Structure formats: structure tokens, C-alpha cells
Amino acid sequence: MRKLILTSILLASIIGCKSYVQVFKTNSSINANQNGFYVYENDSVKIIYSFWQKGGLMTFAIYNKLDQPLFVDWKKSAYIDNGVKLNYWIDEVKSEGTSTSDGLYYEGPLLKPGYAISRTGRASITSTVKIERITFIPPKSYYFRSQFFIFPINFYQLSADTKYNEVDNKGNSKKKTKVYKQTFTKKTSPLVFRNYLTLSLSEDFYTEFYVDNEFYIQEILEMDKKHFGQYRIDETKSGKFFIKDKYGNPVLFSDFQSPTSFYLEIPREASIEKRN
């Protein structure tokens, strides 16, 4: 009887702990390169984008193609969320550390496109800094920026009649799993976001030019978390050891990973399977 009770508790725990993930795929008039990154380019500048993080992160690199300095005025630049302007620069002093935030603003270190936020990349040491309004980019050099989460909410509620495909579960090929998919046009998308930058070849901005890159959510997938990502064994070591990052955390690999996409880990109660 005791074994039966323990087994029942274990099964209930497993079922109750089932979690889900939503993957958000974006679209833009900007073309993606061979590595999957959105790349905007003109005669003076090249801008490379990557969004792949939990909640999405507007990460971009500005490359100065010229043989002379390039300047960015962050007061005259903005991240625009569904038509709402969010400031890159505010005239204030802030504490700068290496922790991350679950809110609208990303408070961690600047990231290169394609690099992830470590789950344990927090630091207790902070410094007080004056946020720079004008950024100087030397010739043939990169500048990296990551300041806003794209979709800082807990989940997007898919329509109850959302269609699904039943496929082999990537975490267990002996089982089938449902992958729900809802698609949008730019007009019907839940989010249209823009990166508006003001640049100049002179620090006084006597003459300036503008870059206005626009993106929108085109598709949302919802699935079992075990289908979304899996931990892999390090074949170079004897025994079964998971591949780990530099902090010793097992690395979760996902076939859905893309610089033009991002994801949310959603509560079970919000999943379409639970609601239906």
C-alpha cells in the first residue's frame, strides 16, 4: 500500500510539473544573412540584430563601415513598442552591475548578437556611472547594445481554436506531442516593434541621418517544454555528463533557436491544453 501511495504521489508530481514553452517568430523587411541574423546596411553603417532570449531581447551591433568616426545620439534614438516610444537615454546616474531583470528594461551587461544570458551571471558588485548620451564608434569598429526586453510578459493567450500538428516529441521519440501554431500579418500582429537611431559623422550632429528598422511577430508556437529543448551528453568525457556552460549549468539545446525568434516559458494554467 505504501509503495502504491508513493507511486501515486510521484506520478501526480510529474503530471503537475509539466511545463510549456511559446516560441515567437518575427518578420521584417530587413533580410536575414546566412547565419540567420537580421542585417540592415547602407553606405555608412551595418546593424546586426539578434532576439533569442527568454522574453526576447533587442540586441544589436552597430558597425562603422567608414574610415572616419561615427556618432550615435541616444537622446534622439528610441525603441518603439507598438507605437510607444521608450528612451534609450535618460539624464540620470545609475548603478551598473551584471544582474538581469525580468521587467521591461534589461539591466545586465551589453551582449553581442547571438550570445546568451547566463542564469548565474549575477554579481554583487555594482558601480555608479553616468549614462553616455553620445556614443563614439571608431572607424571599422563595432558597438553593442542590449537594453529592452521585447515581450516582457508571462505568456500570450492563444485562441481556443488554434490548430496544431501532432509530431514526435524531440525529448522522447516514442511519444507524440502537439505543437500549436498561430500566424499573423503585420496588421494583426500582437507586437510591432522598431529600432530608431540617429547617427552623424560629427559629434555636434550638424548633419545627421536616421535608421528606422521595423519588426513584428509573425508566428507563435506553443509546445511541451521537453519538445522545445533537451540537455545533451558530453561525448568527450567518460560517463554520462551533460554539456555545461562556464558556470557549471547544463546547457539546454533547442532546434527552435534562431536569432530572429525568442521564447517564453509559460505556466501550465496558461497553456491551451490546460484551458481546453
φ and ψ of 207, to 5 deg: -125, 140
Q: DSSP secondary structure string, 5-66?
A: HHHHHHHHHHHHT--EEEEEEEEESSPB-TTS-EEEE-SSEEEEEE--SBT-EEEEEEEE-S
pTM more than 0.85: no
Mean pLDDT throughout 115-140? 68
pLDDT digits (tens, 9 = 90+) for 169-210: 888 878 899 999 999 999 999 999 999 999 999 999 999 999
Would you state the pLDDT for residue 5? 40
Q: Average of pLDDT values for 105-110? A: 78
pLDDT in tens, 10-65: 444 444 467 899 999 999 999 999 999 999 999 999 999 999 999 999 999 999 99
